[in-house]
Amino acid sequence: MTREEWHAIRDNNSKYDGKLFYALRNRNTFCRPSCPALLCCPENVLVFHNIEDTSEKGFIPCPYCHPEGEANIKPGSSLPASAKAYVEAHFREKFSLNDIAGHLFVNRSYLLRVFKEAVGMTLLQYHNYIRCREAEKMLEETNLSISEIASSTGFSSASHFTRVFKNTVGQTPSAYRESCALLE
């Protein structure tokens, strides 16, 4: 996997959809680069340039991004997109589901249900996903300490950040930084 391919996957870059696919060794699925389902660590990723190769290796299509067809998020579904935009704009801040629902003028339960159906994860999972994606960039591109990265991505403590990062990405921030250094 090249650095460019990894950045396309890490950044959910839709410009690479159809040009490459990635499979996760620790799951039996393959995804398009724009898949919002989860973060992964580089050592668990296999890159393919066509779907046939993924099938030959025994990987099945991701149930969220449907790499063999249309994406799960339906065109014109603005509520999930608006909720994602809110989370992305405020990921460093502490906010509640009521804050997002109030901002979008919808019922909290309705928002949770529609978001989960469209995106494939809860709003809290998406919030952590966005914070961890930003932390990944910082771990790759800066020499900031884990505590400094935790603080700048909105986590209350380095230990909480490490727990969430490990649950979301599959490895600790330190191990992630080390695995990215191997890509160079």
pTM flag (> 0.85)? no
User: Does residue 176 share a domain with residue 142?
Assistant: yes
Cβ pair 62, 27 in contact under 8 A: no
What's the confidence (pLDDT) of residue 52?
84
In a domain, 69, yes or no: no
Confidence label for 3 from pLDDT (cuts 50, 70 and 90): confident
Q: What is the mean pLDDT of residues 143-161?
A: 92
The total of structural domains in the chain comes to 3
Confidence label for 74 from pLDDT (cuts 50, 70 and 90): very low
Given 86, 102, 119, the domain boundary residue is 119
Domain containing residue 22: CATH number: 3.40.10.10
Distance in angstroms (rounded) separating the CA atoms of residues 6 and 159: 26
- Give residue 171's domain range: 125-181
User: Does residue 129 share a domain with residue 104?
Assistant: no
User: Does residue 147 share a domain with residue 132?
Assistant: yes
In a domain, 70, yes or no: no
Cβ pair 54, 48 in contact under 8 A: yes
Cβ pair 123, 98 in contact under 8 A: no
Q: Could you say which DSSP state residue 71 is in?
A: -
Q: What does each C-alpha distance from 181 to 22, 31, 39, 42, 175 come to in angstroms?
A: 20, 24, 18, 10, 10
